[in-house]
Structure 1
Amino acid sequence: MTCPSCGTPAEGDSNFCEECGAALGASPPPDGAPRVLVTEAAADEPSPIDDLGSGPISRATSQTYAPAPPAAGIPACASCGGEVGPDGYCEQCGVKALSPRDHFREQPAPWVAGVCDKGIRHSRNEDAMALSASPDGSGAARRAVLVVLDGVSNTDDSQVGSLAGARAALGALVVPLPVGMGTPEGRLAAATRAMSAAVDAANAQVESAAPADAANPASATFCAAVLEGDTLTYANVGDSRIYWLPDGGEGVQLSVDDSAAQDQIEAGVPRLEAETSAQAHAITKWLGRDSQGHEPRVGQMSITEPGWVLVCSDGLWNYASEPAALAQQVAAAATTDPAALALALTDFANASGGQDNITVALARVSPAPAP
């Protein structure tokens, strides 16, 4: 069998391509879709900043990376366009070549976009995202799905598991969410079952990413937001987050972390103190073979004003945890283009010091048209 994405011959018993991380047996991506190449971590890579979280981040993201070239082609340097030699370094400028897995972008519709970036201090990108959206971002027919998984950096093949898990969750959420009996309680119960099924699908892919005898099998956090008309449904496992940032206010953090810091906050420790403590990013629930449970926290809200749905990994909120702080960065970007804003927020995190991979996924909620 060969990989449907990059053509690399499959070896061993893995369900994923060792070269690009794609699921074997899947249909090839359409023309123009990003090809994903996985880079191996250096043996002396620093340990993550979180015990069971995502670990250290990002680099400047001013370049767009094209799909991977054919196996027989000569790759081009993302910095200067020169030829990349067999050793992985540009023969013209000497810069080590980046792969599309290090930094990739998605924009399924003009009103939905995301950036997933390796960062400054990591040797590989263990974050992943998967997005879908209806062409029209206004009115009752609009629909978007934003999924972000943050691979645990001290586990085996987390960069493969997070990407496969994000795609699996997106596949489970592309159909409309059930509404149950139509009451608010019934809708939430039905949506919880759908979100739990998406988490199960993602978890299965994370579990199968590493060999059965792996000492540290792949693990990842999970968060997803589904916008249908004016109803936003969200779910999370771990410490990746969902925010609602209206144009006219400071916003709100919708998700609740499964983390040691959140336990401290609930015990009365001030947020800033808890989120800067030694165990700030130690997660208490995650996806993976060694998880003790991955039931998501699920919620719903009605959106009636313009603003942003933001789904992100801790690589972003490390530097702007409070909704008001994120709202300030959104205002500073001065744009209603989700692709431009996702890039601006990624660059903000990198410029702030970058201690983790960064993923920023956004949906621009516009006012409903006048009747």
Structure 2
Amino acid sequence: MADQFYGVTDTGKERKNNEDTFIAQATADGKFIIACVIDGVGGYSGGEVAARLAREAILQRLTKPTGEFIPIMIDCFNQANQKILDEKKQVKEHDSMACVATLTLIDIEHNQFYYAHVGDTRLYLLRDNSLVKISHDQSFVGFLEESGRVNEAEAMAHPKRNEINKALGFEANLVKDSEYIETGQSPFLPGDMLLLCSDGLSDMVTSADITTIITHSSSSLKDKGTQLIDAANAKGGKDNITVVLAKNDKQALKHNATMPAASEKKKDQPIVIDPVKASTPITHQENQEPTPQKSNGWIVTLLVLLTLVFLAGNVWQYLQNKQTTMVVAEAVPPADSKPLGELEIKLQNAINNLKGNVLLLADTAYAAPINISRAIQVKRDTLFIKTKGKIELVADSVYKGTAFSLNGQCKLIMLDSLSVKNFKTGVIAYNNALLLKNVRFNNCVVAVQNLFTIAGNKFVSGDLHTFRADSIPMTNKQN
């Protein structure tokens, strides 16, 4: 696991002691990476004690992580919370101590990471040089920033930026409040990087500057971590600064578009077909037969045989996929559907023409509900759709299809704080590529239809993950 993870902490320029701590190590069996940042709260000694107790509890619980990962991580926080509460009862000087923490458990073999979060430490995902904040700051200023009321610079300078709403050590029993701990999971693809940090970094260094530092290709994780600490100190170092980096150092797969041999064209074709192409009839270009030469008669015969094999393979594949085509064909509208509306054209073009991976939809640009008369197509490797204000997609009165149709090649698509209304199917997705946050499905027959592309004649193993329904939006939980 050389250069797969690295952690560093620094006291900063103004503090006398360091109330931060971190975890950056592999589990005993070497199957997982534990990455965690803990920021202590509560005075000169109390914060340090709370952070240390939380670290010990987490490592003890993750000695052998088996079973469902999210419940294990929630249990880590509950055990840490109890240790802090016990210490507060025994030592009067520590009665105000607590800590905030962000914990990730990374399954490199299966390209997944799982996280649990309380407070205002942060978790970022870097993919294709785009940095996306995964965790939500559980603070008043965090709520203001994520809801669009203040920008990043204003949040960093806000006088209440250090006031938190949730922490380990605040509540007697976290299990009773299932909304207290933010949890989730996401694909962690070859080349991806995770950044966990305390607010000593995020309050001093902008996300743009952080991105510049950690995308420096020639730097090791140690160098990147050191540069982030130096950047925060250069801006004043007003708090303790802690950084943990973890990288999936597998070779990123890149395929060149090549024409396979006719006899191999349909080998290991996925059983589930792309909904975008589901209703498109199979067509073949007519090959012009070359003028036969006396010495090339065997070539003509071979070409004829290959053509017959090619056509037979296509007919067989069509018959195999016929039932699946009927399931997902609703994603494509009939040819005589009415013209697209202005807002749905605008949304589709915004997705198609996006340069990076993050699309921000503001209600100033989409003031009215977006009337959908055919599925919004997503054909990107990675896309994060976030919103400012109320954004709602509503099915046209005569449209009976889906709101979003994700291409089978999508690897990570996140929809954040959208409303989807009156659709037969809210989202058609493939292969665990979909991540939802604060998405509401109103009057949808099926909220999410998740399809899996699996090569034929193979042994299949794995499990299916589910979405969790929340009674309160995530942003309001932080208020």
The TM tier, using the shorter chain, reads 0.5 to 0.7
2:233 aligned residue (342, 346, 350): 350
C-alpha RMSD over aligned residues: 2.8
1:176 aligned residue (65, 70, 84): 65
Counterpart of 1:125 in structure 2 is 18
1:316 aligned residue (201, 205, 230): 201
Higher helix fraction (1 or 2): 2
> Which of structures 1 and 2 has the bigger CA Rg?
2
1:192 aligned residue (55, 70, 88): 70
Which secondary structure does the structure 2 equivalent of 1:353 belong to? Answer: coil
Amino-acid identity (%): 26
Counterpart of 1:341 in structure 2 is 224
Q: TM-score with structure 1 length normalisation?
A: 0.60
Distance 2:42 2:232 in 1: 19
Q: How does 1:211-222 map to 2 (within 5 A)?
A: 211-214=90-93, 216-222=95-101
Number of positions where the alignment pairs a residue of Structure 1 with one of Structure 2? 246
Distance 2:70 2:27 in 1: 22
Higher strand fraction (1 or 2): 2
Distance 1:300 1:341 in 2: 25
Q: Any idea what the Cα deviations from partners look like across 1:165-201, whole Å, max 9, x if unmatched?
A: 11221222243353xxxxxxxxxxx433111101012
Q: 8 Å contact 1:219–1:289 — kept in the other structure?
A: yes
Q: 8 Å contact 2:78–2:173 — kept in the other structure?
A: no
Counterpart of 2:402 in structure 1 is none
Counterpart of 1:360 in structure 2 is 243
* One-letter amino acid matched to 1:204: Q
Counterpart of 1:326 in structure 2 is 210
Q: How does 1:284-295 map to 2 (within 5 A)?
A: 284-288=165-169, 293=174, 295=180
Q: 8 Å contact 2:46–2:93 — kept in the other structure?
A: no
* One-letter amino acid matched to 1:110: D
Which secondary structure does the structure 1 equivalent of 2:130 belong to? Answer: coil
Counterpart of 1:207 in structure 2 is 85
Is 2:114 the counterpart of 1:259? no
**1:266–1:130 distance in 2 versus 1, CA, 3 Å:** closer
Pairwise CA distance, 1:155: 7.0
Q: 8 Å contact 1:217–1:290 — kept in the other structure?
A: no
Q: Any idea what the Cα deviations from partners look like across 1:247-295, whole Å, max 9, x if unmatched?
A: x222211111111112223544123223422111210000115678583
Which secondary structure does the structure 2 equivalent of 1:288 belong to? Answer: coil
2:189 aligned residue (304, 328, 349): 304
Bigger relative contact order (CA 8 A; separation at least 6) = 1
Q: 8 Å contact 1:127–1:358 — kept in the other structure?
A: yes
Q: 8 Å contact 1:161–1:208 — kept in the other structure?
A: no
2:106 aligned residue (208, 213, 227): 227
Is 2:6 the counterpart of 1:113? yes
**1:122–1:209 distance in 2 versus 1, CA, 3 Å:** farther
Q: 8 Å contact 1:131–1:145 — kept in the other structure?
A: yes
Is 2:40 the counterpart of 1:144? no
Q: TM-score with structure 2 length normalisation?
A: 0.47
Q: 8 Å contact 2:120–2:199 — kept in the other structure?
A: yes
Q: 8 Å contact 1:115–1:361 — kept in the other structure?
A: yes
1:276 aligned residue (131, 139, 157): 157
* One-letter amino acid matched to 2:24: L
Which secondary structure does the structure 2 equivalent of 1:349 belong to? Answer: helix
Distance 1:206 1:171 in 2: 15
Q: 8 Å contact 2:5–2:247 — kept in the other structure?
A: yes
Q: Any idea what the Cα deviations from partners look like across 1:323-366, whole Å, max 9, x if unmatched?
A: x432112135x544222221221111111211110111111221
Which secondary structure does the structure 2 equivalent of 1:329 belong to? Answer: helix
Distance 1:209 1:116 in 2: 24
Q: Could you tell me which runs of 5 or more consecutive residues in structure 1 were left unpaired when the two chains were aligned.
A: 1-107, 179-189
Q: 8 Å contact 2:8–2:244 — kept in the other structure?
A: yes
* One-letter amino acid matched to 2:190: E
Q: 8 Å contact 1:157–1:209 — kept in the other structure?
A: no
Which secondary structure does the structure 1 equivalent of 2:149 belong to? Answer: coil
Q: Could you tell me which runs of 5 or more consecutive residues in structure 2 were left unpaired when the two chains were aligned.
A: 255-479
